[in-house]
Amino acid sequence: MGRFDGSRPVDPTRSTSNLEVRAVAVPPQSGEHDSPRSAEGEAQTVDCSKGRPPRPQLQGLSTLRRTWHQTVGVLLVEDDPVDRTAVERVLRTVPQWQVFPVADLASAREVLEGCGVDIVIADLNLPDGVGFDLLPDIGDLPMVVLTGTGDENVAVKAMKLGVVDYLVKDVDLTYLSTLLTTMQQALLAWEQRRAERELIASSHRAAEHLRELAARVDELLWIREADGRYTFVSAMAQDLLGVPAEEIERDGAAWLRYVPTQWHTRLVRQDEMERTIDYQVDHPELGKRWLQETRMPVLDDQGRLVRTVGATRDVTDLHRREAVLRGEVAQLEGIANHDPLTSVRNRVGLWQQFVRERDRCQRTGGPLAVAVIDCDGFKKINDLHGHDAGDALLQHVAAVIQQHLRPTDVIGRMGGDEFVLLMPDTRVAEAIAACERIRTIVADSPYAWRNHQLRASLSIGVGPAPMLAKDLGEVIHGADLSLLLSKARGRNRVTGSAGTETLSVGDLLRPQRQPVFAQPIRRLSDRQVVGQEVVCRGPGGEDAAIVTAVAKLHDQIVEVDLKRIARALATAPRDHVLVHVDVQPATVMHCRLDVWKRMLEDIDPTRVCFELPEPQLIGLPVAMQPRLRELRELGVQIALDDVGFGRSSLDSLILLEPAMIKLSEGLVVGVSEDPLRFRGLVRIAALAVSLEAMVVCTDIRTEQEFATLQELGFFAGQGPVLGDWEELVNPNGSP
pLDDT the model gives residue 310: 86
Question: What string of DSSP letters covers 621-680?
Answer: HHHHHHHHHHHHHHT-EEEEEEETSS---HHHHHHS--SEEEEPHHHHTTTTT-HHHHHH
Q: What is the pLDDT of residue 34?
A: 40
418: which residues sit within 8 A by CB, 6+ positions away?
Answer: 372, 373, 374, 375
- With bands split at pLDDT 50, 70 and 90, how would you rate the model's confidence at 37? very low
Compare 94 and 198 and report the one with higher pLDDT.
94
Mean pLDDT of 46-51: 50
- With cut-offs at 50, 70 and 90, classify the pLDDT of residue 72: confident
695 and 685 Cβ atoms separated by less than 8 Å:
yes
Domain ranges of the chain: 48-192, 218-321, 338-500, 506-727
**With bands split at pLDDT 50, 70 and 90, how would you rate the model's confidence at 314?**
very high
Q: Which CATH number fits domain 218-321: 3.30.450.20, 3.40.50.12780, 3.30.390.50, 3.40.50.1360?
A: 3.30.450.20
Residue 612 CA to residue 553 CA, distance in Å, equals: 19
Q: How far apart are CA 104 and CA 83, in angstroms?
A: 14
- Average pLDDT value for residue range 24-50: 43
Side by side, the strands of the sheet bearing 97-102 are 97-102, 72-77, 119-123, 143-147, 165-168
Decide if pLDDT at 508 tops 90: no
Per-residue confidence (pLDDT) for residue 67, from 0 to 100 = 40
User: Confidence band (pLDDT; 50, 70, 90) for 483?
Assistant: confident
The CATH number of domain 338-500 is 3.40.50.450: no
Residue 60, pLDDT > 50, answer no
* Each residue's pLDDT tens digit, 658-702: 999 999 887 888 888 888 888 888 988 998 898 889 999 998 989
Confidence of residue 727 (pLDDT cuts 50, 70, 90): confident
Contact between 521 and 530 under an 8 Å Cβ cutoff? The reply is: yes
What backbone phi and psi angles, to 5 degrees, belong to 103?
-115, -5
User: For the structural domain made of 506-727, what CATH number should be given?
Assistant: 3.20.20.450
Q: Is the pLDDT of residue 366 over 60?
A: yes
Q: Name the residue among 98, 101, 108 with its Cα closest to residue 87.
A: 101
CA distance 239 to 544: 83
Q: Does the structure show a pLDDT above 80 at 498?
A: no
Residue 345 pLDDT greater than 80, yes or no? yes
Tens of pLDDT, residue by residue over 235-288, are 888 889 999 988 998 998 899 888 888 888 877 776 555 678 889 899 998 889
Identify whether the C-beta of residue 87 lies closer than 8 Å to the C-beta of residue 25.
Answer: no
For residue range 388-403, list pLDDT tens digits in order.
Answer: 888 999 999 999 999 9
Cβ-contact 585, 617 below 8 angstroms: yes
More confident position, 190 or 472 = 472
Cα–Cα distance, 695 to 713 (Å, whole number): 9
Span 34-43, average pLDDT:
43
According to the CATH classification, is domain 48-192 in 3.30.43.10? no
Between CA 401 and CA 412 the distance in angstroms is 11
Mean residue pLDDT of the chain comes to 80
Q: Give the pLDDT confidence of 178-228 residue by residue, as tens digits.
A: 888 888 888 887 777 776 766 666 554 556 666 676 767 788 888 888 888
**pTM, to two decimals:** 0.42
pLDDT one-digit tens code per residue, 106-160? 999 999 888 888 889 999 888 988 888 888 888 878 888 888 776 777 777 777 8
Average pLDDT score over residue span 604-632: 84
Q: Which amino acid would we find at residue 516?
A: V
Tens digits of per-residue pLDDT, 487-497? Answer: 877 788 898 87
Phi-psi region of 349 (alpha: psi -120 to 50; beta: other; left: phi over 0): alpha
